[in-house]
Amino acid sequence: MQVFNSLSKKPEPFTPQEDNRVLMYVCGLTPYDSAHIGHARTYVSFDVLKRYLIKNGFVVYHIQNITDVDDKIIKRCRETGADPKRLTEENHSEALELFGKLHILPADVYPKVTENIPAIIDLVKRLIERGQAYETDSGVYFSISAFKPYGALSGQNLEEIRAGARVEVDESKKDAADFAVWKKTKGEIVEFDSPWGRGRPGWHIECSAMSFKYAKRTLDIHGGARDLIFPHHENEIAQSEAALGQKFCKYWLHTGFLTVSGEKMSKSLGNFVTLRQALSQTSPNAMRLFYLQAHYRSPLDYDAENMAAMEESVERIFNSLGLMCEVCGKPGSGHNDAEFRKKSDELIAAFHTQMEGDLNTPEAIASLFGLLRLANSHIESHAPDREQLLKVKKAVEDILWILGLEEEVRGIEEKTDAVMALAAELGVGGAADAAGALDLLVALREKARKEKDYKKSDLIRAKLKEIGVIIEDKADGVRWKIA
């Protein structure tokens, strides 16, 4: 498998440091507000990577931090009077609930900054002892001039960084580009005791301390959105390697930007879309398919009006899988179809080849749809090769697990009132439950069709569709499903 390493700026063979164990750290939320669709794009991308690794026999230890103390959180609490602990816990709990609905596998650990202050202080102490950081009246700062590889990840020029830093210069710093690893405060909403007085951690030191605490060695993968490359990830590398004297991370992976209707998402532009809003209009499967239709490193534009196409694609996937399950459930192996076997094996292999190439999900999904079209055509054309079809069904189920697409099994019970009311309206009462009433309605429609009363049969079908029950006429009988 190859992944594009943002550090080397090229694809590299993925070889974890342990044969079957992968340490993956993904930068988590700063939960001062509700999670939005940009957050979800990143976490779905790393979820697919994690799923693919698991499917290939790796044990993935996934660390995802919670930045529960930050300038944005403090600013929001000042503006609203909210308690920072309650604000961050409520927003993060909501986010995890929504990520669960998106079928994102949970991390193994979600360390909070506020619960890891001793580890952060220890790392700052180590930097000072090694001459990589120094104390001033305003805080403790990392000296980037003492770390020669600085800028390797982002490609930033040190003089340009200094020029930008002078806009808001802190005269106490030795170099305008030096960044805070500990900020001194006095009477702040959130602050902690330290050897340098009351204060709180700088943004970047948090991830360095928590990743090392939980990974205990060099990370295999560090992930996040592209906008974290500089300064956050650049600074993580500098302070981690300076303090610990070892490589911080082997592979750096970053997701591309997400825009809304062609513009950067912003509340001031009125195009800020929370994940809860998006999932109130679009199914989790359609949202995932939307994210995966673009390569994880590519830009992606969200337009709610185009999500209907994603819903239709999801329906086609599970209709095809349902048809395969139905045919495979019948006795006998069918005949051996050499051409079907060859083409289906090629499409299954193509999916995995695309995934091995830096998670090329757009092409991998194209291979999936090619496989589904081939299977549908094979089933409809003649007596199917059930042995190969069973293999295809298993491959499709594995592929859908990797992509995180899960069939939503919806029972007729949720339509009880509507089905019972329709049965009464059409004069087929007496059923004990919704399933029984639906059987009577289907039988009534079949009776009308046999009597060539197509007006009545079409009416029953249309009324069932109105309440969310879809009737499908197949060669071997009638099927129904919840829309």
Average pLDDT, the chain: 93
Q: In terms of domains, do 309 and 382 share one?
A: yes
> Stretch 119-123: mean pLDDT, rounded?
98
Residue span of the structural domain in which 328 resides: 305-403
Residue 456 in domain: yes
| CATH at residue 364 | 1.20.120
Into how many domains does the chain fold? 3
**Span of 95-109, 166-180, 252-266 with lowest mean pLDDT:** 166-180
In the prediction, which pLDDT does 482 show?
Answer: 74
Cα distances (angstroms) measured from residue 315 to each of 133, 169, 322, 395, 461: 57, 56, 10, 18, 19
Query: In this predicted structure, what is the pLDDT of residue 428?
Result: 85
On whether both 108 and 207 belong to a single domain, the answer is: yes
Tokens representing 483 are: 């829309």
pLDDT (tens digit per residue) in 312-323: 999 999 999 999
Of the chain, the percentage scoring pLDDT greater than 90 comes to: 76
Q: How many CB atoms lie within 10 A of CB 162?
A: 16
Query: For position 169, what pLDDT does the model report?
Result: 61
| CATH number, residue 52 | 3.40.50.620
Are 235 and 349 in a shared domain?
no
Q: What is the pLDDT of residues 219-237, one digit of tens each?
A: 999 999 999 999 999 999 9
For position 168, what pLDDT does the model report? 59
Residues 418 and 393 in one domain: no
3-state secondary structure of 476: coil
Identify the domain boundary among 353, 374, 403.
403
Does pTM top 0.75 for this prediction? Answer: yes
User: Domain for residue 143, yes or no?
Assistant: no
173 located within any domain = no
> What is the per-residue pLDDT for 225?
97
Q: What is the pLDDT of residues 30-79, one digit of tens each?
A: 999 999 999 999 999 999 999 999 999 999 999 999 999 999 999 999 99
| Residues 442, 399 share a domain | no
pLDDT at 369 over 90: yes
Residues 318 and 417 in one domain: no
Say whether both 472 and 395 belong to one domain.
Answer: no
Domain assignment present for 111: yes
Instruction: Judge whether residue 435 has pLDDT over 90.
Output: no
Q: Tell me what the mean pLDDT of segment 5-34 comes to.
A: 97
In this model, does residue 166 exceed pLDDT 60? Answer: no
What local confidence, expressed as pLDDT, does residue 165 receive? 62
* Residue 13, both tokens: 């063979």
Asked if the structure places residue 221 within a domain, the reply is yes
| Cβ-count burial 7-43 (b if 16+ within 10 Å, e if not) | beeeeeebebeeeeebbbbbbbbbbbbbbbbbbbbbb
Paired with 469 in beta bridges are 482
208 and 342 belong to one structural domain: no
Where a domain ends, among 403, 425, 451? 403
Kindly state whether residue 170 falls inside one of the protein's structural domains: no
Domain co-membership, 324 together with 465: no
Q: pLDDT digits over 393-419, tens only?
A: 999 999 999 999 998 766 677 788 888
Do 390 and 423 lie in one domain? The reply is no
Q: List, for residues 349-359, the tens digit of each pLDDT value.
A: 999 999 999 99
- Specify whether 320 is located in the same domain as 464: no
Q: Is the pLDDT at 309 greater than 90, yes or no?
A: yes
Q: Rounded mean pLDDT of 437-466?
A: 90
Residue type for position 399 = I
What is the model's pLDDT at position 405? 98
> Does position 167 have pLDDT exceeding 60, yes or no?
no
Residue 146 lies in a domain: no
- Whether residue 187 lies inside any domain: the answer is no
Domain end residue (candidates: 403, 420, 441): 403
Q: For the range 348-357, what are the long-range contacts, defined as Cβ-Cβ under 8 Å and sequence gap of 24 or more?
A: 348/392, 348/395, 351/395, 351/399, 355/1, 355/52, 355/402, 356/1, 356/2, 357/2, 357/11
Nearest to 24 by CA among 268, 304, 224: 224
| Residues 221 and 344 occupy one common structural domain | no
